[in-house]
Structure 1
Amino acid sequence: MSQSSIAWFRDTLLQPSEPPRGQTGVRHWLRARLFNGWLSSVLTIMALLVIAAAVNAVLPWLANSVWQADSLGECRRLMNGEPGACWGVIRERWPQLLFGFYTQDAYWRPLASFVLLFAALGPILFKWVPRRALWFTAVYPGLAFWLIWGGSLWHPVSAYLGLAIAWLLFRMMLPLGGGVAVACASLAATAWWLQGMQYLVLAASNLSPVALTAVSSRDLGGFLLSFVVGVSGIAMSLPLGVLLALGRRSSMPLIRVMSVTFIEFVRGVPLITLLFTASLLLNYFLPPGTSFDLILRVIIMVTIFSTAYMAEVIRGGLAALPQGQTEAAQALGLDYWKAQRLVIMPQALKISIPMIVSTFIGLFKDTTLVVFIGLLDPIALSTAIRASTQWQGVYWELFLFIGGVFFVFCFAMSRYSIHLERRLKTDHR
């Protein structure tokens, strides 16, 4: 046989064959996953015993549930002395748990803002949503504020006009330098919001009075309050955290020292301390007679707290990138901000996705800490419900409902994180 007739690679495909006996089926899965060795078998049996005991204790309690009842005493009469869940408290008090003391005939307003939130997040979270819908994302914060708190529509319109003035002035002053442009734009926006805005609102309200019934912040409570604080903190902490992370890695000593000082101080202070600062001490640093809404103060402090942690998360993503990425961006002729926007930051954010979402979930759950400064979050409302004569003695039903609602939203954020990681995955390992 000549050497040229020898095939060094297969030129035909092998026919598919059945897997070896014992390598498929339920039996193989049980042996590989649950009973792979004596230690795995012991742990599996112990876990099954714990699950069986939990089901045996909880299932009869759930099976004997009562939904139609106006008090705990009526629940117990309907249960005939047997243990069971009194879900009548949820059926009767769910509006209070969701909206606090919000006006009942205006429930459609927070519900509309909640539905529109998903429309505003669509262009950011999902690739298939057209990018031109980002204009609604930019408009949504003012629209949501108007729907929830009410008042004249010209208040958010005037606030957006201040941003437009700042942007135009920034573009005009940009040839003089970035620092000068930012300073001029900031001063112009601040002057507009403090002085010029009120005159425009007054004039526009007289010409075209478009308004909703005003709702006081003390009427906000329940999950509505948690969503307002949590969503606001999440939306603002990510961009501020990016800027703070870049400031900590800056080559300018002043910016780097200020960023490090801010991050280390805020991370070293418990959130409850910042909330007490927002509730009790912040007014002492404001001019006399200044009215600063408590919920706005809480949002600011929660955002500051989350921003410090977000900055460290993003800094970890930046540190994980090889130096060659920065050098490659410089070799392409990109300046600092273009290199960060087009090359560095997309990769750093991709690496940091799990920790970013974990920080968001922690922030959303930490909104329950506002109970310590007198705001009526779901935990505070559950305490008030249990203090009433009708439902005194109800515990598990309220806490299970509150925990279930928090779990739904936190689980949704974690699943979207997994989806985003898979969508952005570029390697094939």
Structure 2
Amino acid sequence: MRQLGSWAARVGVGFVRACVVAAVSMLVPAVWAAAVALGIWWGAGNPWSWLAPVVLVSVGTLALSRPVCRMVRFLVARWTATVIPAGYRQAGPVTRMSTGYWWNGFGYERTRRDALMDQKWRVRWSDPANWRDLRFTAVAPLTAGLVAALPPAGVAAAALGLARPEPAARLAALLGLVVAVAGAPYAWRCVEPVAVRFLRPSPAMALADRVDELTAQRADATVAQAAEIRRIERDLHDGAQARLVGLGLSLATAEKLMETNPDQARTLMRDARAAATASLTELRDLVQGINPPVLSDRGLVDAVRALALDSPLETAVSADLRLSLDPPIESAMYFAVAELLTNAVKHARATRARISVTQDDTGLVIDVEDDGRGGAGLRADGGLAGLRRRLAVFDATLEITSPAGGPTRVRMMVPCES
């Protein structure tokens, strides 16, 4: 009985999915059929009987091709867990120049709205993915659409046949019902191979996207490196360097006062010793910010635990002690965890945090969770977006789950080998 119920559920779910696939695949041909019917209805004597269908077919196909392809990708990902990258070109930033005009990567416009509109259509029409979408809308009805239409066509044939008393009609109704029931669990599945074959980006498009991504990552890395060098220079100039200069002056003064005023000389020596200690502390803090010694000596796990001990949050760390990673990856993940803990204290007002460091067959996975107020998100100029760009250099991903009221959970995954 349980097997019968499972089979009936598969038939019902398959029939619904087949109807959805058939409807989505046949949407553009339906526009074509409507255009032809409109031309026939107007008659041959009407001058619009041939022009209007052509316009309707062209506009309808161009307008529906991308929504149809997006819907197919969504259905395939939801039903089969096969993710097909969209591969559409992304518009770049719009910048206001000193002259007051807006530059959108193609030309100058007087207002930001005009610049965005011009950029949108230029990117849309120059995107080679448009030809891929148009090709799919022409191929899908003849492949996935026809196969997926068999179950609903069988049900329609059964309904029409049962409405007539002839034996041939009853036999056709029985055959239609058999086709619908037998094909329902499988008819919709042909949409996956067709979508993967015709909707995925071509190697040239994927290579171009990868080049653009690496170019952006290189620019971000250059900017981050320059900012870090300026920070180190500023810290050295305003901190340790100023203290060392003062230390030299104090020692020179103490040397002159050694014979005439020993007490004041000893006071200057004590102040110089305190300044040397402070300078040493500042230099250690600076080195800690560049490359923590515990990270170089004991690895990522112990460095994260040391970071948790120094954090004002009540932080629990669970980690895989068998981790063995390249130093650049360890450094990037360490500073990413440090930034997330800082955000939890500064912005989320959290009191507790949990860090999990594991490694599986795909790579390194680090989860950072806090009990703060939540609401964290990726903004174009935000710290989390910058963190994602820095991790993207290692092909790492960053996923954020932060509902209002908390908790906030950030998962970082980087592919690597032990």
Q: TM-score, normalization: structure 2?
A: 0.25
- Larger strand proportion of the pair: 2
- Larger helix proportion of the pair: 1
